[in-house]
A = this chain, B = another copy of it.
């Protein structure tokens, strides 16, 4: 990309002008620099075709602190439950545990491409309620981590309807919104879906998480991200702001990067062409590798694998032979832990056994991320998950 293009230089000046005193070393407003939030809101509005406001943006040191902030606010005791997918990105179980709430799992269905069935959500909510749990929110990760699926629009509508009917806050982890690898799927933010159904800011509390660590940018070490918070009343909003202000502000470099990813170079900008070449190169490289790995896994005996639709993961299923399971049992290890150790010894490939996920099958999560963005992580780690 053309780093010294006229639009890049112009943008740098614009960003400096947005920051009071041009001071990138100073604390900002606790939600983040207002001008940067406005830029992000304009990017969201352009993406979705619906209004967005900088007042609803909370800039954070990556998506994780934003998730913690919401858990902090949602969980009052162990009687409060948060619906989360299994398999899941462990940030959610960790954050719920840290804040003393109850993890209410719903299971993604591998048979239908790690699909999210509203019947399953309903079943789990009812079960949790029968145990005296107040279910407060639903976490949806789309595109999926670690399952790599992209939700269909119809499915998303049913999820929105479900949250509306059940009075749940919808926590939409949308950090992989740029990582889509199949022609027949597109990313739709949950806010866009809700607004297209006619639901306004008064109808549905909805939080969308975004990060500079994923997409084609992958600047994990910069710790930038934001959440867009809509559908809460003024009293709750004030509490969200109060929690945000305890830590003063997120890092300004991360704030700037967050504004950049939501407002990339436009047609007519000097850098546009080189930006698009670099962007498409990264995305198509990820897509190519996803496809290659998906095919490789499906060509192996004893392994099946769903389509790599998005995010940075494949989640193939292992069909371990009885003798391997027997050997694991003889060694006093869970079959997946045993497999992981043997794979490491035989090949040097580091693999994480995921017995804790309890998803009823053995699966491997291959993180393409590591291959993707210039050596962000020094090794490929493959996670093996599940107990049969």
Contact = CB atoms under 8 A, between A and B. Distances in A.
Interface residues of A, number: 42
Nearest to A27: B220
A112 interface: no
Interface in A350-388: 373-378
A374 B249 CA distance: 18
Given A98-B72, A248-B62, A250-B61, A21 B221 contact: no
Contacts of A68: 246-247
Interface of A: 20-21, 23-28, 61-62, 64-65, 68, 72, 91, 94-95, 98, 100, 213, 218-223, 243, 246-254, 373-378
A27 B376 contact: yes
A250 B247 CA distance: 14
Q: Taking chain A's interface residues, is the majority helix, strand, or loop, or is none over half, making it mixed?
A: loop
A226 to B, nearest CB: 15
B221 A26 contact: yes
A27 B248 contact: no
Contacts of A20: 378
Given A21-B375, A375-B26, A248 B218 contact: no
Given A72-B98, A221-B28, A248 B64 contact: yes
A198 to B, nearest CB: 37
Given A374-B23, A378-B21, A221 B251 contact: yes
Contacts of A100: 100
